[in-house]
Amino acid sequence: MSHPPLRSTRLLDHLRERIRYAHYSLRTEKTYVYWARFFIRFHNVKHPKDMGAREVEAFLSYLANDRKVSPSTHRQALAAILYLYKEVLGIQLPWMEQIGRPRQRVRLPVVLSRCEVALLLAAVDNRRQLICQLLYGAGLRLMECLTLRVKDLDFDRKTIVVRQGKGDKDRLVMLPTRLIEPLRKQLSRSRALWAEDRSNRIPGVFLPEALARKYPRAAESWTWHWLFPSPTLSTDPRTKQYRRHHQYEQTVGRALSCAVAQTQIPKKVTAHTLRHSFATHLLESGVDIRRVQELLGHSDVSTTMIYTHVLSSSAAGTASPLESLPDIPN
């Protein structure tokens, strides 16, 4: 597939252009640029076109043996380097497909009990509580929740439209009845910030892809405003415009960490733990795994199957053979 000519002259700017042309997320852009820069600096700023399989494998070996990165990080670095060669430099060589990939480890997700979820959500501070309730109540990923727009809520049908989720896919999830009133109050707070921005002539919120050109006024409209806007203005990392962003991931992570410390839950809890718990609790309740797959937005049901390994009806409900051993007198 042919690409438009590159406009920039610096290699990393070339990489950014190609990533944006492919409509990859800002997170992917930052990650790929990080690994490309790391790779080049590791080889004393030698240009990638003058390097090959030996240099790539030396870099990956350094990551695995000296930095001791995880297999997922190892694969991420390799993907970034291969993208640089294939999409930016236009180099497709046999050695690129022959480089060994680390074996993926299968890890069971951390899942909270219903009681632990209730304790945790009650302990989260009021500013982040609704976000965490949605993570668990609708099985959302953190960024899917934070990037919700006003128009994505349908109170009549009690549904939420998740747009451009992982893999750039849209899906429909439930809107929990007990969150309807809190969400209406959040909309009121969001509208106050929207009205303030319009009064101060602040540029509208970020719009995906070419929508900003197709609908020039949409970015300033109420329907496209963030459900969870940041209380402060900031500079858009791509357009450099000073505008209102959605709330930041780190604030939710800090709020959860404080709540875990307060409740003394002896598990490693992140925002994604609430999504894991959502899926497991649905399966425990008898919801069909295909339906859970749709709600989570998984492309393959095998990804959803991981939650069947942590159901209370399996290992936790099976008697150990130790229980049936006869008592032997001392």
Tokens matching residue 230: 């940041």
| Amino acid symbol at 13 | D
Lookup result for tokens 């849209």: 170
User: Using an 8 Å Cβ cutoff, are 48 and 39 in contact?
Assistant: yes
What number is the average pLDDT over the span 56-60? 89
Told to judge if 272 belongs to the known catalytic residues of this protein, a careful annotator would answer yes
Structure confidence at residue 92 (pLDDT)? 74
Structure confidence at residue 282 (pLDDT)? 94
pLDDT above 70: residue 98: no
The DSSP 8-state label assigned to residue 89 in this structure reads: S
Which of 246, 275, 276, 281 is catalytic? The answer is: 275
Which of 184, 254, 272, 290 is catalytic? The answer is: 272
User: Using an 8 Å Cβ cutoff, are 162 and 294 in contact?
Assistant: no
Tokens matching residue 299: 């492309």
Structure confidence at residue 9 (pLDDT)? 61
Pick from 11, 53, 62, 17: nearest CA to 36: 11
Pick from 196, 184, 179, 51: nearest CA to 121: 179
Told to judge if 298 belongs to the known catalytic residues of this protein, a careful annotator would answer yes
Q: What's this model's pTM, rounded to 2 decimal places?
A: 0.80
Told to judge if 246 belongs to the known catalytic residues of this protein, a careful annotator would answer no
Structural domains of the chain, with CATH: 11-98 (1.10.150.130), 114-308 (1.10.443.10)
Structure confidence at residue 326 (pLDDT)? 84
Which of 16, 141, 244, 246 is catalytic? The answer is: 141
Q: Residue 140: which residues within 8 A CB-CB, separation 6 or more? A: 134, 160, 162, 173, 275
Told to judge if 141 belongs to the known catalytic residues of this protein, a careful annotator would answer yes
What number is the average pLDDT over the span 165-171? 80
